[in-house]
A and B are shown apart, each in its own frame.
Chain A
Amino acid sequence: MRSGNSRGPAGNAARTAAGPAFTVRPVLAADVPHVAAIDERITGIGKAAYWTDVFERYTRHRTGERFFFVAAPATNAAEQRVLGFIIGEIRTWEFGSAPCGWVFALSVDPAVRLRGVGEALFESLSDAFRTTGVTRMRTMVARDNRLHLLFFRGEGMMAGPYIQLEKDLG
């Protein structure tokens, strides 16, 4: 896994051989419809109200422990406002776990994948988690979500000590 950027999580810039430069920065209100659009393109499910709620929660409450970053083109002239996003927060003592960072969402627009956007977002969130003092980050991925499994494994994540269990209530 890459080491953290000394400039901190916000404002990380990256230039790739395959595409224009982009920066990773905290989400703004104007980004939310674009975040929702990327999510709908990928999942096929529109959740505008959900993303508005996530934005409100992550920008207004426990802001020292919640992080919502977007990757945005470095130039204002670019047509696409948001290339990808990542969301995570510090959770403490849930499931008996000492404080650690949880990655709840990571999406990159399929049109701009393989350009380092996901890696830059992941590195930014990792850096943000480190600034809070936690030394571990976790996520949960559906067993058949090969794309995310491959990505997180490639970033050095391994299976943790927990097993997710579930039961139908119907």
Chain B
Amino acid sequence: MKLQIASQLAIFAVLELTAHSGRPLSVADIGRKYGVSSHHLAKVMHVLGQAGLVRSVRGAGGGYRFSGNIRRVTLLDIVELFEKLGSDHLNAGRAHAATHEARALHQVLAEIDDIARATLGSITIATMLKLAERRAADAHQPAAARP
């Protein structure tokens, strides 16, 4: 499954802000880690701010802070700010849309969409932080010791 770049950047930005919750982070701080321009990130942060998930901190040492609840906000909450999951698989209006075959395909694709939504909707920011920590710990293990 692919996520749009903006969705990915938004998730990365939120993870950075929550992993470093002791201080505000600037778009430059976040952009340096992920190799992304401040211009792109600023647009993402604007959308997150409109959704009440981040707030800007002005002045020297300013930037952004996460303003949601890491145990409640899920990946789905963030992704849906930037893209619509699933799509109109029937392409309503096209001639084939009314066929049994199109409806059967729609049923299969809808199943995949449901699983994707359930997965993204069941992973909170807190859970993602734990996943990232485990990845980091695994990466520091000697190769022979890794499962």
Contact = CB atoms under 8 A, between A and B. Distances in A.
A143 B115 contact: yes
Given A153-B123, A153-B124, A154-B124, A143 B130 contact: no
A108 to B, nearest CB: 16
B126 A143 contact: no
The 10 A-B pairs at the shortest CB distance, nearest first, are namely: A149-B122, A143-B118, A153-B122, A153-B127, A154-B127, A153-B123, A150-B122, A143-B114, A150-B124, A146-B121
Interface in A127-162: 143-144, 146, 149-150, 153-154, 156, 159
Q: Which of B114, B121, B122, B124 has the most CB of A within 10 A?
A: B122
B126 A159 contact: no
Interface string B36-75: 0000000000000000000000000000000000010010
Interface range, A side: under 10
Contacts of A149: 118, 121-122
Contact of A159 (B114, B119, B130): B119
Contact of B130 (A144, A146, A156): A156
Contacts of B124: 150, 153-154
Nearest to A144: B118
Nearest to B119: A159
Interface in A43-95: none
Contacts of B127: 150, 153-154
A47 B118 CA distance: 28
A143 B122 CA distance: 9
B126 A154 contact: yes
Contacts of A153: 122-124, 127
Contacts of A146: 121-122
Interface string B86-129: 00000000000000000000000000001100110111101100
Contacts of B130: 154, 156
